Structure 1
Amino acid sequence: MRQEHQLYHASLEAVDDQSINPSTAPSLDSMINQSRRNLLKGSLAVAAFGFFGGNLLLSREAVAGTSPLLGFKGVAAQTSSTFDRVIVAPGYTAKAFFSWGDAVLAGAPAWQPDASDDWQAQLQQAGDNHDGMHFFPFAQAPNSHGLLVINHEYINPTLHPQGLTFTQDATGAKQRPIDQVRKEQAAHGISIIEVRRDALGAWQRVATSAYNRRISGMTPINIAGPLKADARMKTLSDPSGTQVLGTLNNCSMGVTPWGTYLACEENFHNYFVNRDAEDYQQRAEHRRYGIGNGVSSVYYAWESVDARFDATPYAGQQHNGHCNEPNRFGWVVEIDPFDPDSTPVKRTAMGRLGRECSVLSLHANGSMALYSGDDSRGEYVYKFVPQGRFDPAQPQANRQLLDAGTLYAARFNADGSGEWLALVWGENGLTAENGFADQQAVLLNARGAADVLQATPMDRPEWVAVHPQSLEVYVTLTNNTERGERFAVDAANPRPDNLHGQILRWNEAGGDPTATRFTWELFLLAGDQPGALDNEGQPIPEHLTGTIKGDIFSSPDGLAFDAGGRLWIQTDSDEDAAHTANTGCNQLLCADPVSREVRRFLVGPWGAEITGLTWTPDYRSMWINVQHPGISYPASDGKSRPRSTTVLITKDDGGVIGT
């Protein structure tokens, strides 16, 4: 997710991809000094050979041209700054389905095109900036009836009629109108809507459904796991340390085999400030996560009207006021979409990160792992292995599986091997002498624990996808403009000033999601084709070319497999940048994991990120999200207020998407 888009009325500062990792030293496995070409031809080729075995490697590399998996004709890139619609492959239809401001609760006020809706109305309507989502089918009609659960990551200035209003007090601290802040809090969170096909086969939202629900920045959410009632979770407003008000910055997500939704809190640091410089330096849980330490929070200045976002300790206040409030964000939030009366739960055993996703890999024996990227430059790839196993015969017991287990961070060695490093207190330097008083401290500062273990700093790890048959795991690394400057070039992150990003993949030892060793390789480097020219007719520099077989793209972000083994890739690049002159607007592509062919399936409007991806179980209906369109989508008339929108995609002949 990037937050630097120039929308009308205001511009929001890009803060989501800042380097917060203080360690500039290369990890043990990254002390290499080979050129990108040598990496690709040498050590990585050896790693791939060990990964797949000789014959399979040759078959992967030998297959070229038309992939048997990709049955659609690709669409062209769109490089015009006036492009303001969604185009999809021939033979498919893409239709705006659910936009910011649409009614969620029965009787919700109609959305106002001038954004004059108040915060009470916004609590009943779709939030802003649709992101990760999932379709939960009803068993009686799984392909025509279900619940669509959608994250609302953050807000755009277009949420208000004249954008975000900021003033300053005598100290220079930003001040905000309380009604704007309340509406912004209401526009965060999650929407749950019931959807079904009508008598003509068209998908409709069920306006009066009892399942329809908004979870926002104001919703009570329980704390579970090791940090429940911990002193470091207690605040003036919650002296018990057992319940948080709200969930924020929900980017991607995950689902469990017991039918719950895992919303992930990513860039929560943007919402808080600690003005006490000395205290800030002593609190690793503030400093290592980038909590603001100036006169105002980095982004919203909510603290000017809502005291719980001011994490500055004040003498004489119980629990030092709200200094622990940031500790209550950055978690996986488990939601039961089929129980509208249930209270969401923050699962602290899974660790506190700027977490992009929590993607399940389930073994036939019930063991499992949940993979996450921590989306900031130089951060890490993680997995959480529950202590227990999934048992479909024990539905209630499964609900506790995320409260006990082991969190790991990944080390990618230059020879194509990899290790999962356990973040366990008392082991490998995670001791009181190094600032970790107990396991709760390790989970609260998982980033710092991964620093100590020398996990591999990555190029902004984003979404993870697990192949449905082989359990092979893929991760998008979207970009890193400081690779080679603050973070050493290494085998997994082979390009300095990495503007385009890459996709890695690995196999766990023995095909076991709980294994502590794996083998990995680069699936592709994003960017222009070798020999391509820029918009001035000059050759593209080598470090901006990639290894894509097929349609080019920049900054891979969203990632998911369908049941047929097609790998769907969504992008979040900056279309205004010089290096994206040929890739243009953000897009949805599809790749064949064997042949590595990539084909462009959909292109979105200028200014928008393409994100969120889900299907019906028969894969004949697909939903994707168009986040923060820059002109007027979905009206696409050049003058209407743009709205983040969930888009429904179907094949005109009723067939499986992608075939």
Structure 2
Amino acid sequence: MPESAPHRRPLPLIGMAQGGRSRRTCELRCGDACFHPAPNTSDNLYFGDIFAKALSRRSVLGAVAVGAGAGALGMGAPALADPDRGPGRPKPAPRPTFRSVLPNNDDKVTVPGGYDHHVIVRWGDAVLPDAPGFDVENQTAEAQSKQFGYNCDYVGFHQIDGDRGLLWVNHEYTNENIMFRGYTNGDEADVEHIRVAIQAHGGSIVELEREGRTGKWVLAGGERRYNRRVTGNSPTVLTGPVAGHDLVKTAEDPTGREVRGILNNCAGGMTPWGTFLTAEENFNQYFVGGDGVPEADKPALARYGIPTSGNTYGGRRFDRAEERFDLARHPQEANRFGWIVEVNPFDPGFTPAKRTMLGRFKHEGATIQVAADGRIAAYMGDDERFDYIYKFVSAKKYREGDTDHNLTLLDTGTLYVARLTGNSPEEEIDGTGALPADGEFDGYGDWIALATDTESFVDGFSVAEVLVHTRLAADAVGATKMDRPEDVEPSPVTGKVYVALTNNTAREPGQADEANPRAANKHGHVLEIVEHGGDAAAEAFSWAVPLVCGDPEDEDTYYAGYDKSKVMPISSPDNVAFDKDGNLWISTDGQPGTMGINDALHVMPVEGRFRGELKTFATVPVDAEACGPLITEDNKTVFLAPQHPGENGTFEAPTSVWPDGDFPRPSVVCIWHKGGQDVGR
């Protein structure tokens, strides 16, 4: 079938949540966030309310404009990732030429013709040398602490040399219904099952080796001295301004500096100095007893989605295994989660560090770009309906090769939140997704400073309060409410920054704005940011929306102006990545619910005349989400992590048997071209 007529195979949307995920996934991953009122009840203005006021500010950002139309928004003068490069438009990336994988509902990973794939590591595989063999019928917490964890999400990879590398994988959450035979939820849950689940969180480091000269990577043999498990119970430390503050002190840790475990780690990032950043996202769902905390603490808990009234002891009951998850007994414990955590894979003795200067919210990830003066910027999204996009800029400069110094960069600097303004009249943004008269959703914006490590810029908030209650601080300064900001990634070629906005079915027509132009936005969109002067440390930027997702045949979709008869469908963009040529890779989370097709990994050029030509590179098994992804620096391998295959089944009645044909196991795969070509060809 020609790609000009993409195949559709809609399915009945039975049991699906408003945003496209299955109801089971919503329950386990984010505590049914979409079935409750959005935690952001602030009265922050929408674009339609501030358009007239914003026009008076445009002279401030005049230096961003270089001409009319898209050029006026900096689109013709892209930011440069390398400050040593001169100005000028980069050469467009080579166009992906593979033939798209067609939409399907198959219980397997499907890749294009000419490609192959390999399952590298599965839930339960040995990570530490003394890990026992995986026995799904007889799981123990001790065994799981040494085995590959559950629900792999973010994937990071550092090549040690040409044929060896270290793979970091997040373990976001657990689905006990398909992990254990006869699992019972709530008060009747088996305590050992809960202990296993806590150990199945966190992350794994596994050493890989290349098979021959191909793009295939396998678990390394030999000593594998870098292999490591970080779990929901592993020692971590708080660093930065919040460390030692009363807001994070507990009976177990009266110093406020040592935390057990990392939880609900979703996306992440890699630093220039060789560490991994892993992001704690929906931590709220692990805590009960919010009705028993002091009244003064309840507004902050509610802003993070923790129930504070009625019976808050239903659902997942981690407190049955560890009482620290009961806020009525330990009201500050929740403040110790929701951070960006730095892990040094090259130092097995390094204690994972929760970098409090980057703020506390439902972090999707954190990705790094070096600014023109050598400081570093970390971009972050807060994955909730109507929440915000953030940036941190370090006070100190990156020093190549000085790991000890670079490990301090994330502890001092400035935390910002984004405010975006459209350049079209209010009446042209009506919530239907129709383009305004200038032919593009675009505008400009600024980064609002919230705090440095020594000074708060938010009235009524100390530095520690800004960082612990970052959502409330951002509410107070009028940040722009977005449609679930998830992964935020700068292009290694142009320096432009791309934000995956997954969806927001709660946005009403009167709440649509130019950066979130569609009401009841079940398919999501992608935002493109160009920093002022191409500098990641800038406090002003321009922006555009190159992709409004959905069925290309629908009028409310937009593929950067490209011919929509020649593109593939996409819904619910979640994680994004780049190849070395600057093509944007987009993985999805929700296509089964919004389109009746399996989730997938797509690729789209964002420069040149093929900008917007979206193709489907891979699809994942039944009920699975396409996570990762990562393209190696040599462009020979794509790492992809199919998360929660068979999510809607049970142990006794699975809906997926991927990857081994018996029961579902979240896993990481690598994909490569059998002819040795770069991926995408």
TM-score for the superposition, normalised by structure 2: 0.82
Q: How does 1:170-181 map to 2 (within 5 A)?
A: 174-181=187-194
Matches for 1:104-253 after TM superposition, within 5 Å: 104-112=127-135, 114-138=136-160, 141=161, 143-158=162-177, 160-162=179-181, 164-167=183-186, 174-198=187-211, 203-206=217-220, 208-253=223-268
Check conservation: 2:638, 2:670, Cα contact below 8 A: yes
Whether the aligned pair in 2 keeps the contact of 1:32 and 1:490 (CA below 8 Å) is no
Q: How many residues align?
A: 597
**Alignment equivalent of 2:553, drawn from 515, 522, 530:** 530
Which among 336, 346, 350 is matched to residue 338 of structure 1? 346
Paired with 1:526 and 1:68, the residues of 2 have a C-alpha distance of 23
For the 8 Å contact 1:361–1:368, the answer to whether it is kept is yes
Amino acid of the structure 2 residue aligned with 1:400: T
- Within the candidate set 508, 512, 516, 1:493 is matched to 516
Q: CA deviation at 1:116?
A: 2.6
Asked if 1:587 is matched to 2:600, the reply is yes
Aligned counterparts of 2:543 and 2:558: Cα–Cα separation in 1: 22
CA distance in 1, matches of 2:523, 2:68: 24
Structure 2 residue runs of 5 or longer lacking an equivalent are 1-16, 53-66, 79-91, 424-442, 647-654
Q: Please give the alpha-carbon distance, in whole angstroms, between the structure 1 residues aligned to 2:48 and 2:234.
A: 43
In structure 2, what is the Cα distance between the partners aligned to 1:608 and 1:247?
A: 23
Aligned to 1:372: 380
* Matched-pair identity in %: 36
**Distance in 2 between residues matched to 1:553 and 1:104, nearest whole Å:** 35
Letter in 1 for 2:374: G
Residue of structure 2 in register with 1:31 after alignment:
49
Counterpart position of 1:644: 666
Are 2:237 and 2:354, in contact at CA under 8 Å, matched by a contact in 1? Answer: yes
In the aligned structure 2, how far is the partner of 1:153 from the partner of 1:12? Answer: 8
Match of 2:118 among 81, 86, 95: 95
**Shift of residue 157, structure 1, vs aligned partner:** 2.5
Look up the match of 1:70: 96
Query: Which residue type is aligned with residue 151 of structure 1?
Result: N
Q: Counterpart amino acid of 2:488?
A: V
d(CA) in 2 for partners of 1:13, 1:258: 32
Pick closer, same or farther for the CA change 1:368–1:28 going to 2, 3 Å: same
1:602 aligns with 2:628: no
1:570-621 superposed Cα distances (whole Å, 9 cap, x missing partner): 000151x3x414xx11000110002221111111112110011223331212
Contact 1:4 1:12 in 2 (8 A): no
2:459 to 397, 407, 431: 431
- Separation (CA, whole Å) in 1 of partners of 2:505 and 2:637: 37
1:377–1:11 Cα change, 3 Å = closer
- TM-score after normalising by structure 1: 0.85
Contact 2:570 2:591 in 1 (8 A): no
* Alpha-carbon distance between aligned partners in 2 of 1:12 and 1:619, rounded to the nearest angstrom: 32
Q: Secondary structure at the match of 1:451?
A: helix
Per the TM alignment, residue 290 of structure 1 is displaced from its structure 2 partner at its CA by 1.2
- Alpha-carbon RMSD: 2.8
Find the counterpart in structure 2 of residue 616 from structure 1. 632
1:297 to partner: Cα distance: 5.2
Equivalent residue number for residue 21 of structure 1: 39
Q: CA deviation digits over 1:332-373, x for unaligned, max 9?
A: 111110111211111111110100010111135412210011
Q: Deviations over 1:409-428 (max 9, x none)?
A: 10110120101011138999
Any idea what SS the aligned residue of 2:503 has? coil
Looking at structure 1, the residues matched to 395 and 545 of structure 2 have their Cα atoms a distance apart, in angstroms, of: 31
Q: Are 2:372 and 2:537, in contact at CA under 8 Å, matched by a contact in 1? A: no
Structure 2 residue matching 1:423: 3-state secondary structure: strand
Aligned mates of 1:199, 1:33 — CA distance in 2: 58
1:309 aligned partner: 325
Deviation at 1:28, TM superposition (A): 5.3
Q: What is the rounded CA distance, in whole Å, between the counterparts of 1:377 and 1:128 in structure 2?
A: 26
Q: Name the CA shift for 1:206/1:391 in 2 (closer, same or farther; >3 Å).
A: same
Q: State the Cα distance separating 1:296 from its structure 2 match.
A: 3.4
Q: Deviations over 1:539-572 (max 9, x none)?
A: xxx5578777411110011101111111101000
**Contact 1:223/1:345, CA 8 A, preserved across alignment:** yes
Does the CA-based 8 Å contact 2:372-2:535 persist in structure 1? no
With over 3 angstroms needed to count, the CA separation of the structure-2 counterparts of 1:427 and 1:223, relative to structure 1, is closer
Greater shift, 103-112 or 506-515, is seen at: 103-112
Instruction: Give 1:203 shift.
Output: 2.9
2:470 to 425, 430, 446: 446
**Aligned partners of 1:48, 1:280: CA distance in 2, in Å?**
50
CA drift of 1:180 comes to: 1.2
The alignment partner of 2:397 has SS state of: coil
When structure 1 is superposed on structure 2, of 286-295 and 200-209 the one drifting more is 200-209
Q: Which 10-residue stretch deviates more, 438-447 or 393-402? A: 393-402
Q: For the structure 1 residues 109 and 53, does the alpha-carbon distance in structure 2 shift closer, same or farther, using more than 3 Å as the test?
A: closer
How far did 1:30 drift? 3.9
> Which 10-residue stretch deviates more, 617-626 or 473-482?
617-626
Aligned match of 1:555: 572
Opposite residue 628 of structure 2, the aligned amino acid is G
Q: Which residue of 1 aligns with 2:489?
A: 465
Q: Cα distance, 1:291 vs. partner? A: 1.6
Q: Which amino acid aligns with 1:305?
A: A
* Kept in 1: contact 2:456–2:463 (CA 8 A): no
Displacement after TM superposition at 1:31 (Å) = 2.4
Cα deviation 1:110-156 (Å, max 9, x = unaligned): 222x4432111111111110000111111xx2x31011010000011
Q: Distance in 1 between matches of 2:124 and 2:177?
A: 12
Which residue identity lines up with residue 242 of structure 1 in the other structure?
A: R
Q: Distance in 1 between matches of 2:257 and 2:407?
A: 18
**Residues 67 and 467 of structure 1: is their aligned pair in 2 closer, same or farther, counting only changes over 3 Å?**
closer
**2:388–2:418 CA contact under 8 A, matched in 1:** yes
Q: What's the CA shift for 1:521?
A: 0.6
Matched residues in 2 for 1:493 and 1:636: separation?
A: 41
Unaligned runs of 5+ in 1: 35-44, 57-65, 168-173, 313-320, 532-541
**Secondary structure at 1:48's aligned position in 2?**
helix
Which among 273, 282, 286 is matched to residue 271 of structure 1?
A: 286
Compare 158-167 and 222-231 and name the one that shifted more.
158-167
